């Protein structure tokens, strides 16, 4: 719990004694905290089935709050996915579909909506996507801390300091001048390079590794496929132990951050921007396709206005996060977003109807635009030649039959295959003109600073 510094306590007490607080309006809206963890795939989180003790803090939050068992990222790389959960729009509708394309200025961000509604906004973001790309819009305080390697402990320390300083300010001590806080924290640690975080790494990988790979060093962007094909079982075990040690290190940092947060007055969500591949499709990393491993992420709500111990089983897009936070902050939902608020199943033990969730990838080096649809236990992918209607491939997977997505469940002659293909083509045709309009309005792509270009290349982008 927090303590008042002497000046703030004196002013608050004096004001309360002099005027009395009972008759004065008080802003009772919750504080809002959104935590995203880069590259954290769902099945490496304890409550999502991970056998290692990677996430005791997230697990505890899930057990006291609401967990979405099938949360789907809007894309499999950072800017496009974060852009969606920060605007409530699909990637083609916010426009940040490649590292040189910022969020459309016509699309308000969640932070802009909440700031306009009176929230005090701060972001602590470890990512290379920190400059001129639009994620910073609406944050009065924005700390972007690159380059890699990241350190979740330091980011949590800085975020906690901001959270406490705003909470202890004189303005917030006086009930009728209080303005609630909105903070976004984005941890990068589980992103490559994967560092051996102790004592977790030794616990996860007790035998010494003598293989040829240095997964703790910066990765050549072109390595994803080549290395993925060559990995032995030992190499992959080493890779997973390193990754899981980074996940546990980040979870511990999240726990430290939450020591400064009163969850009785704060609504908290923890999620990830996308997952990561570990040779399931002969490659490692993300931003390569829209596989289950890259799209399914954790999504857990806890704290103020959140029901206890509830699991939502139907698939849901992270794109709902913006409207959910906007609704919690009474910020209004105009202009409308692509996905509405989730309060119906946060405040009551309700389930969501099963609706298709779409994702997009227009950034890979294969000159393909890839679209994904998750519907129940069925996951369909459509690859189009970039910018055209020419179908390059369609895959339809059944997660009950093949969780790793190595074999398609439905052949082209199957009506299920045709229906999925048609739905994805319809979605792509609906989205493409909207993205074209955003691009037409842009004068020119954002000119990224040289340092940011270097960081993007180091992380495997801008192939």
- In whole angstroms, how close is the CB of 451 to Zn ion at the nearest point? 18
Ranked by CB distance to Zn ion, the top (closest) residue is 78
Does 78 help bind Zn ion (rule: CB under 5 A)?
yes
What is the distance, to the nearest Å, from the Cα of residue 46 to the centroid of all Cα atoms in its chain? 18
Our CB check for Zn ion shows the closer of 37 and 342 to be 37
List C-alpha distances in Å: 416 to 291, 375, 397, 406: 19, 12, 10, 18
Structure token digits, residue 180:
């609630």
- In whole angstroms, how close is the CB of 189 to Zn ion at the nearest point? 11
Our CB check for Zn ion shows the closer of 78 and 90 to be 78
Q: Which stretch binds Zn ion (CB under 5 A): 6-14, 34-42, 53-61, 292-300?
A: 34-42
- In whole angstroms, how close is the CB of 15 to Zn ion at the nearest point? 45
* Strand-by-strand arrangement of the 310-312 sheet: 141-144, 120-125, 181-187, 31-37, 266-271, 299-303, 66-68, 310-312
Our CB check for Zn ion shows the closer of 30 and 91 to be 91
- In whole angstroms, how close is the CB of 71 to Zn ion at the nearest point? 15
Our CB check for Zn ion shows the closer of 239 and 297 to be 297
Structure token digits, residue 444:
């020119």
Does 273 help bind Zn ion (rule: CB under 5 A)?
yes
Pinpoint the alpha helices (H) of 259-386: 292-295, 321-328, 343-346
- In whole angstroms, how close is the CB of 135 to Zn ion at the nearest point? 12
Count, residues near Zn ion per rule CB under 5 A: 3
Does 112 help bind Zn ion (rule: CB under 5 A)?
no
**Residue showing tokens 């099938």:** 70
Show contacts with Zn ion in window 303-362 (CB under 5 A).
none
- In whole angstroms, how close is the CB of 79 to Zn ion at the nearest point? 8
Show contacts with Zn ion in window 353-372 (CB under 5 A).
none
Residue 319 to residue 25: CA distance in whole angstroms: 33
Q: Which stretch binds Zn ion (CB under 5 A): 29-37, 100-108, 269-277, 289-297?
A: 269-277
- In whole angstroms, how close is the CB of 80 to Zn ion at the nearest point? 9
Q: Which stretch binds Zn ion (CB under 5 A): 40-48, 266-274, 406-414, 427-435?
A: 266-274
- In whole angstroms, how close is the CB of 119 to Zn ion at the nearest point? 25
128 close to 273: Cβ distance less than 8 angstroms = no
Structure token digits, residue 410:
């439905």
Return the percent helix, strand and coil in the chain, to nearest 5: 35, 15, 45
405 close to 291: Cβ distance less than 8 angstroms = yes
- In whole angstroms, how close is the CB of 186 to Zn ion at the nearest point? 9
Our CB check for Zn ion shows the closer of 173 and 224 to be 224
Residue 397 to residue 372: CA distance in whole angstroms: 11
Residue 247 to residue 238: CA distance in whole angstroms: 14
How deeply is 157 buried, as exposed, middle or buried, from its count of CB atoms within 10 A (0-12, 13-18, 19+)? Answer: middle
How deeply is 311 buried, as exposed, middle or buried, from its count of CB atoms within 10 A (0-12, 13-18, 19+)? Answer: middle
Does 84 help bind Zn ion (rule: CB under 5 A)?
no
Q: Which stretch binds Zn ion (CB under 5 A): 4-12, 50-58, 75-83, 247-255?
A: 75-83
Does 38 help bind Zn ion (rule: CB under 5 A)?
yes
233 close to 185: Cβ distance less than 8 angstroms = no
Our CB check for Zn ion shows the closer of 128 and 438 to be 128
Contact string (CB under 5 A) for Zn ion, positions 180-219, x = contact:
----------------------------------------
Which residue ranges make up the site for Zn ion (CB under 5 A)? Answer: 38, 78, 273
């Amino acid at each position: 719990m927090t303590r008042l510094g002497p000046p703030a306590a004196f002013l608050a007490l004096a004001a309360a004694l002099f005027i009395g607080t009972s008759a004065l309006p008080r802003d009772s809206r919750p504080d809002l905290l959104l935590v995203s963890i880069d590259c954290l795939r769902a099945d490496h989180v304890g409550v999502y089935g991970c056998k290692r003790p990677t996430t005791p803090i997230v697990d505890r939050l899930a057990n006291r709050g609401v967990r979405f068992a099938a949360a789907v990222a809007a894309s499999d790389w950072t800017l496009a996915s974060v852009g969606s959960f920060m605007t409530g729009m699909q990637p083609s509708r916010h426009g940040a579909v490649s590292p040189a394309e910022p969020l459309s200025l016509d699309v308000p961000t969640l932070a802009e909506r909440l700031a306009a509604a009176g929230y005090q906004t701060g972001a602590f973001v470890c990512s290379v996507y920190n400059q001129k790309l639009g994620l910073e819009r609406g944050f009065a305080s924005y700390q972007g801390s690159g380059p890699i390697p990241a350190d979740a402990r330091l980011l949590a320390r800085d975020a906690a300091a901001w959270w406490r300083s705003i909470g202890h300010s004189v303005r917030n001590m006086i009930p009728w001048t209080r303005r609630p806080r909105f903070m976004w924290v984005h941890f990068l640690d589980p992103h490559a390079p994967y560092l051996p975080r102790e004592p977790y790494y030794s616990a996860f990988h007790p035998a010494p590794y003598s293989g040829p790979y240095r997964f703790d060093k910066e990765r050549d962007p072109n390595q994803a496929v080549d290395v993925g094909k060559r990995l032995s079982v030992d190499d992959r075990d080493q890779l997973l132990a390193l990754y899981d040690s980074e996940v546990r290190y980040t979870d511990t940092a999240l726990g430290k951050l939450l020591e400064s947060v009163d969850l009785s007055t704060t609504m908290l969500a923890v999620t990830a921007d996308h997952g990561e591949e570990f040779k399931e499709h002969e490659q490692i990393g993300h931003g390569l396709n829209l596989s289950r491993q890259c799209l399914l992420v954790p999504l857990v709500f806890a704290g103020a206005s959140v029901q206890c111990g509830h699991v939502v089983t139907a698939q849901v897009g992270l794109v709902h996060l913006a409207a959910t936070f906007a609704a919690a902050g009474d910020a209004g939902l105009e202009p409308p977003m692509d996905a509405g608020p989730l309060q119906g199943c946060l405040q009551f033990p309700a389930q969501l109807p099963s609706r298709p969730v779409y994702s997009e990838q227009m950034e890979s080096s294969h000159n393909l635009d890839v679209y994904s649809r998750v519907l129940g236990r069925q996951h369909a992918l459509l690859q189009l030649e970039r910018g055209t209607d020419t179908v390059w491939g369609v895959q339809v997977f059944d997660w009950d039959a093949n969780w790793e997505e190595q074999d398609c469940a439905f052949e082209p002659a199957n009506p299920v295959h045709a229906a999925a293909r048609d739905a994805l083509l319809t979605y792509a045709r609906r989205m493409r003109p909207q993205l074209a309009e955003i691009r037409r309005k842009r004068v020119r792509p954002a000119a990224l600073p040289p340092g940011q270009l270097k960081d993007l290349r180091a992380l495997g982008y801008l192939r």
